[in-house]
Structure 1
Amino acid sequence: MFAAVPLLALPVLIYNLIALTLPGAFMSAEAHARTTETLFTIHMTSRVDWAISLSDLLLAASLVVLFVELLKSTTSRKIAIINHSLSLVLFIGCLIEFLLAPAFATSTFFLITVMVLLDVLAGFIVTIVAARRDVDFGDN
């Protein structure tokens, strides 16, 4: 049953925890400032410092999770339909948060929302293509 849970709920949950720990919670506009603060820098061979923020780490982890979700969408088990449906519910929740709560009106959360949308679209498209392939149109 754990396979039915969309893994992209993890980055959304982490962003929600970051936003909820701010004073004013969902109505705080400080989420952008908190997520873009430099956590550490990496000295590149080009003699430039690469500043990495929480936002960068969250987006990188979200891309890895999106890759895993796309691999999961290729299965044609019955539980995949539940996963696609829950991903759609997650996308609707992300869209509502993005549009209505100031703490979620950031580029980071927008990109996470786009990743959830891509998961939904890829899941349904892969399922439709697999179902079409499974239908046999023989010349009997």
Structure 2
Amino acid sequence: MKNQGFVAFLLLLISVNEAKRLDRCELTWFLKKGDMDGYYGTTIGDWICLAFYGSRFNTKSLGGRNPDGGRNYGIFQINSRWWCSTQKGRKSNGCNAYCGDFIDDDIRDDIACVKIIAREASGLDAWYLWRRNCKGKNLSRWTRGCEF
């Protein structure tokens, strides 16, 4: 009996920590609501493409160490070296945010931060994965079939 209770507790703990993966149309809705279509010359397709290649739409994605010493957080892979604070060491905090806030299911703060990055760091060029996988490509497939 004790083991069953422990197993149930363990399964509950695992389900609470499971990452939420948005589908592309759900993310399209959030981005449209956040006024991201046309923001500093970007399209919703740009942001969806970035989120796919950066995190596979995983809101709790945490990347490994980058060459600049930072890590990437959340669905848009926001770099801790420049844009958020881990409360370890002296680094820039351009979004005035705690990095841990970008690895939860509420992406409103992620959107607020990427707006700052797009405005202050030459748009989406700040993301290597966007430059490599999305820049200059037809991105209409990322929003095709999504109502917005």
TM-score band by shorter chain is under 0.3
TM-score w.r.t. structure 1 length?
A: 0.23
Structure with the higher fraction of residues in helix conformation: 1
TM-score w.r.t. structure 2 length?
A: 0.22
Structure with larger RCO (C-alpha < 8 A, sep 6+): 1
